[in-house]
Structure 1
Amino acid sequence: MSVLTRLWPFQRKSAGDSWEDVFRRLFGGRETKAGITLTADTAMQVTAVLRCVLVIADGIATVPLKVFRKDASTGRREVATDHPLLDLLAVEPNDWQDALQFRETLAMHVALLGNAYVFINRVRGQISELLPLDPSRVMVKRGADLRLTYTVTSEAGIAQQFPAEAIWHLRGPSWNSWMGMEPLRMAREAIGLSVALETSHASLHKNGVQSTGMYSVEGSMTPDQYKFLRAWIEQHNAGAHHAGKPLLLDRAAKWTPLTMSGVDAQHLETRRHQIEEICRAFGVMPIMVGYSDKASTYASAEQMFLAHAVHTIRPWHRRFEASITRTLLTKADRDAGLYPKFLDAELLRGAAKDRAEFYRSGIAAGWLMRNEAREWEELDPKDGLSEPLSPSNMVVGNPPATSPNP
């Protein structure tokens, strides 16, 4: 019997449970001031939201994650290849995902909804699988004893309750200490306005962008004639596929073009402003979603990429590491010097010229070995390059001999 088969013969939820409230809480579901009922699905259709979530997810999924063991006496560390958690986090967490896809899924959940949940499948006390859960099907409750319980509901409506020890709960920034704040809810007005702007702009294009002009004919028209003329124009001239085609009308019809108003220009400016608002809510640099002002240069863009690595991605790495340490490592593991670590130093290495200067100064000063630099550049080690160089002016030698007294 598979783990998933054992996981879903849950007991039916009681009539008093309101899962609609849970879904509404997790996926927004509230009408914004712009008149948009926002859900996770509609939010992810906003390209700025989609890109912000994927940028964070990419920064977590594509950076290697290892489990190290540090020797308390020597301070040296090594990859804990003998620990089962390394394979789960770095290679294969479950039967259908690799480690990159697994971390990507968790990162998308926590970046958009503030919380991600994983069922920890233990066999004889050892973690054998990590199974990601749909956040919409998890309800968290805190009891009078301050202990958390997790109720997971299947697609068939069957629910089962799990203790906190069985669930890896990855939280974003939290106000109440036990549930992460939901960016989708906190930024719903900015996202909702963006959806409304997208909808209104799309409606302009539906019939050939905005009304670019108006037709006028001589004499009066009956209601039937007006309906016929309107239908004929919509059939032969409206829509993007008719753009540029000539239109022939009788009765001395005249065409009066209309120009874009200041309101229309402000509409476009508001759409650009909403990109910045959404990026601000997710803590992502606008340049990372393909938006930049005309004043940006290559040098300033490079500093923005560095700021993104330091202020956006690195805090998420540390959040994942702390959560893994607390939830997936036992106290005995921690006492033995085991800890998880994202190898994110490569995000800060800069351009090839900067790296070359960094390696040169480190090797010349004696604190960096040449094979270490080769390893960072994904090159094989060479014989004789594993010893540090000792600059002549830094070599500790014998004190100078004193001349005998005459």
Structure 2
Amino acid sequence: MAWTWPFAGRGRVRLSETLERREPVASPVASTQVAATKASSGFVALHMQGEAAWTRRDYAGLARQGYMMNPVAHRCVRLVAEAAGAAPLVLYQGAQELERHPALELLAAPNPRQTGAAFMEALASHLLISGNAYIEMAEASEDARELHLLRPDRVSVVEDAGGWPVALDYRTGKAKRRIALGEEALHLALFHPLDDHYGFPPLEAALTALDLHNASGRWNKALLDNSARPSGALVYAPKEGGNMTDEQFDRLKVELEQTYSGAAHAGRPMVLDGGLDWKAMGLTPKDMDFLEARNGAARDIALAFGVPPMLLGIPGDNTYANYQEANRAFYRLTVLPMVGRIADAFSQFLSGRFGEELRLWYDPDGIEGLSLEREALWRRLQAADFLSEDEKREAVGYGKRQ
């Protein structure tokens, strides 16, 4: 009869001659079950969990496992949200640009706790993590208004008899209040192909890559905790047969814990007595192609957010020739469309609240990430002798000389 000793740092267990006395082996990543069968060669069977464990798709699960625990997702959200929050906004009434207006003052200081840039950054973060952003306009006093962001997991959309959204229910603890859409609240949602009212977050599209990246990090940490030693088992199968005595088993257990466990003993060669053999029960990092799988998952996360992997320092991506091209593509393909979506929604909302036809838009000349593109345009216009001075000014967004 053979005795086995699983040796994986954490989760050591003694397997007896009978199946009734076996115990499960704990694992930090996935639950496993090890069973010993009666065979002269000491056969060890390893049964892994058949179904993968996925992160919950609600706002709390995506926020914790993505933004709060994954460095790639966190940096992607910060990059997009900070760039969107820093984009300068311009207010128009018809074709006329307004330099002063109560709407501009409201956007510059939406509430006592946030500046305009911080408010827009948080709004963009809500969109990226949950696919939804909810804004309430509150009357602070007779002539003062405030804008407040509502946490997405506390909000539910209220429909009328025809199925159209008419209000928001906002819950804080046991209290719940209803806020009318259009009059008191604004709901921004990214496109969702299977939902009429709620948006689809980019982070959920990257959920498989997100879980793979997080799981690889946990696996690597567990490997380091186990002295960088792959999981396996010591199998006792002497040629002449027989079982290991309790005294021999206890001596082997103490020797393993004192001589081969812990970071101080990492890499120490193991000396085996007669009849003991080491059976590997896991793939090595090389066999798993660990680094490439982790970098591939990071690229998929960045792709879902629209962030060029080059901006995150992820190796293996040569889509753009240099950092400047990647940064310009990031602004043109990701940041500006999001800022434009937010500005359009606010234009309609502010027009209804102030009773005027207002249009909010971003000022591309004030965006630092497009400075090289702007300089190239100015050089081309300067060399265009067939254009008049007023035509050149109009091409870059300035009016005619007075």
Q: TM-score, normalised by structure 1?
A: 0.67
Change (3 A) 1:89 1:235: farther
Change (3 A) 1:124 1:266: same
Query: What secondary structure sits across from 2:200 in the alignment?
Result: coil
Quick check: 1:213–1:255 contact (8 Å CA) kept in 2? no
Change (3 A) 1:270 1:288: same
Find the counterpart in structure 2 of residue 170 from structure 1: 188
Question: How far did 1:274 drift?
Answer: 1.3
Question: How far did 1:237 drift?
Answer: 4.5
Instruction: Structure 2: state its 5+ residue gaps.
Output: 1-49
Find the counterpart in structure 2 of residue 141 from structure 1: 158
Question: How far did 1:239 drift?
Answer: 4.0
What does 1:183-332 correspond to in 2, within 5 Å? 183-211=202-230, 222-235=245-258, 237-240=260-263, 242-243=265-266, 261=284, 264-293=287-316, 295=318, 299-330=321-352
Find the counterpart in structure 2 of residue 60 from structure 1: 84
Name the count of aligned residue pairs.
Answer: 330
Q: Cα deviation per residue 1:55-104 (whole Å; 9 max; x = unaligned)? A: 22122112222324454xxxxx43431x22212223x2111111222111
Question: How far did 1:321 drift?
Answer: 0.7
Fraction of identical pairs, as percent: 25
What does 1:66-77 correspond to in 2, within 5 Å? 66-71=90-95, 77=96
Change (3 A) 1:249 1:104: same
Query: What secondary structure sits across from 2:289 in the alignment?
Result: helix
The one-letter code sitting in structure 2 at the alignment partner of 1:210 is R
Q: TM-score, normalised by structure 2?
A: 0.68
Query: What secondary structure sits across from 1:201 in the alignment?
Result: helix
Q: Residues of 2 paired with 1:272 and 1:126: CA distance? A: 53
Find the counterpart in structure 2 of residue 3 from structure 1: none
2:356 matches 1:343 = no
What does 1:36-115 correspond to in 2, within 5 Å? 36-38=54-56, 39-40=61-62, 41-44=64-67, 45-71=69-95, 77-81=96-100, 83-90=101-108, 92-115=109-132
Question: How far did 1:115 drift?
Answer: 0.2
Cα RMSD (Å): 4.0
Q: Residues of 1 paired with 2:269 and 2:84: CA distance? A: 55
Question: How far did 1:232 drift?
Answer: 4.7
Q: Residues of 2 paired with 1:239 and 1:296: CA distance? A: 43
Query: What secondary structure sits across from 1:268 in the alignment?
Result: helix
Query: What secondary structure sits across from 1:209 in the alignment?
Result: coil
The one-letter code sitting in structure 2 at the alignment partner of 1:151 is D
Find the counterpart in structure 2 of residue 14 from structure 1: none
Change (3 A) 1:64 1:357: closer
Q: Cα deviation per residue 1:286-344 (whole Å; 9 max; x = unaligned)? A: 223321426567x3433222221111111101110111011223286553xx3212223
Instruction: Structure 1: state its 5+ residue gaps.
Output: 1-31, 72-76, 376-385, 389-406
Change (3 A) 1:51 1:204: same
Change (3 A) 1:356 1:57: closer
Change (3 A) 1:296 1:317: closer
Query: What secondary structure sits across from 1:304 in the alignment?
Result: helix
Q: Residues of 2 paired with 1:89 and 1:36: CA distance? A: 39
The one-letter code sitting in structure 1 at the alignment partner of 2:213 is S
Q: Residues of 1 paired with 2:218 and 2:65: CA distance? A: 11
The one-letter code sitting in structure 2 at the alignment partner of 1:200 is W
The one-letter code sitting in structure 1 at the alignment partner of 2:191 is P
Quick check: 2:127–2:190 contact (8 Å CA) kept in 1? yes
